[in-house]
Amino acid sequence: MNTDARSTAAEQARALVGHHYRCAGSFPVERGRIREFARAVQAYHPAHWQESAAARWGFDALVAPPTFGALVWQQARREVLERLITGYRADRVVHVDQTLEIGRPLLAGDVLNCDFSIESFRHFRSFDVVTVSGALTDQHGKPVQTCSTALLVGGRETGGAPARTRPVARAGLTEYADPVVRAAVRRSGQPRAEGPHIDFDDLAVNTVLPTAGATVTARDLANYALAVGDTEVDRRRFTASGRPVRVAPGQLVLALATGYVSSWTRDPAAVVKFWAEFANHVHYLAVPRFEGADIEFNGRVIACDRRRRTATIAIDARSQGRKLFGYATAEVSFAATRGR
């Protein structure tokens, strides 16, 4: 990165702290984009794919996966880098952490506006750290999601040699009775079954959730990049043991972890809050060009609120002997009564 350009960007970021902006255009939530995103993040709950299934869960339109807002946050980040902080290269910007709070699930037919602000700027060693927060409102002006993320800029890319790991067993197509979902799973090549159902009344602090697995391939990275409009995905490469690999976006890993948490609730809208901490040089998913990268997810209940009927889950995600989060938690709500 050009030193003068980066210095200019740092000055711009400092000057923008405390200012509020709205993205230039609104973002329609279309059923096709919900399905495209669901395929990209391996979210095969029928409510993401069929209106009839969404209706059985009490929704009048297709339900977007919990992290669907990443499409809008990606748009906001692009505007920050293209219009406000112009000296940073997009391919050298990574997420340090992210907090996502979901007021209600996004539905096909929603039209979203995104307001964001630069909360803070600091220089840490050879990096600039810019904290950005945002809020999504729907066509009625009601808030639906908020997000806060710290962006790390600068430094040198690094990586280690991915170790071979034992593949995690995966479900077959017969577990997907719905033909539309089954076809989507077949096209994606990455089937994953729901976990065993667990009721809120069976949860307590230190309850251990079932282990689950996912596999990410180069094709999955391409599908995710297409879904969120990430034109920089092909630049995130390095060589490990002489093999070309790509580093998966942290937001994709976050989406897969969210799917893991919601899978055993059987509720597509159960996750209401997610917080994850990344460390780019330590916690990353390296995807070999011609092989899949297996992820193993585990969870443990660290808090239960009986009055609100919520549980907080600490999530552990590992691949190739490496932790993919510094720390991650999700809050799951069991307050709503919906059909199955």
Q: Residue 90 has what pLDDT?
A: 72
């948490």: which residue's tokens? 261
The CATH homologous superfamily of the domain defined by 3-333? Hotdog Thioesterase (3.10.129.10)
Distance, C-alpha 306 to centroid of its chain: 28
Cα angle: 245, vertex 251, 253; to 5 degrees: 65
Indicate the residue type of 262: S
Confidence of residue 67 (pLDDT cuts 50, 70, 90): very high
As a whole number, mean pLDDT of residues 33-51 equals 95
Query: Which has more pLDDT, 70 or 184?
Result: 70
As a whole number, mean pLDDT of residues 37-46 equals 94
- Decide if 298 contacts 254 (C-beta within 8 A): no
- Least confident window among 64-68, 232-236, 291-295, 316-320: 232-236
Q: Residue 284 has what pLDDT?
A: 81
Distance, C-alpha 64 to centroid of its chain: 12
131 has pLDDT over 60: yes
Structure tokens at 175: 């577990």
As a whole number, mean pLDDT of residues 291-303 equals 95
Q: Residue 242 has what pLDDT?
A: 53
- Decide if 66 contacts 271 (C-beta within 8 A): yes
Helix H or strand E segment including 133: strand 127-137
155 has pLDDT over 70: no
Query: What is the β-pairing status of strands 327-333 and 271-277?
Result: antiparallel
Q: Residue 290 has what pLDDT?
A: 81
- Tens digit of each residue's pLDDT (9 = 90 or more) over 195-231: 577 889 999 999 999 999 999 999 999 999 999 887 6
Q: How many residues would you count in the chain? A: 340
- Tens digit of each residue's pLDDT (9 = 90 or more) over 97-119: 899 999 999 999 999 999 999 89
Q: What are the residue ranges spanned by the domains of the chain?
A: 3-333
* Backbone φ, ψ for residue 255 (5° rounding): -65, -40
Alpha helical stretches, state H, the chain? 3-16, 31-40, 51-56, 70-79, 179-188, 218-228, 250-263
List the one residue out of 292, 315, 331, 291 whose CA is nearest residue 211: 315
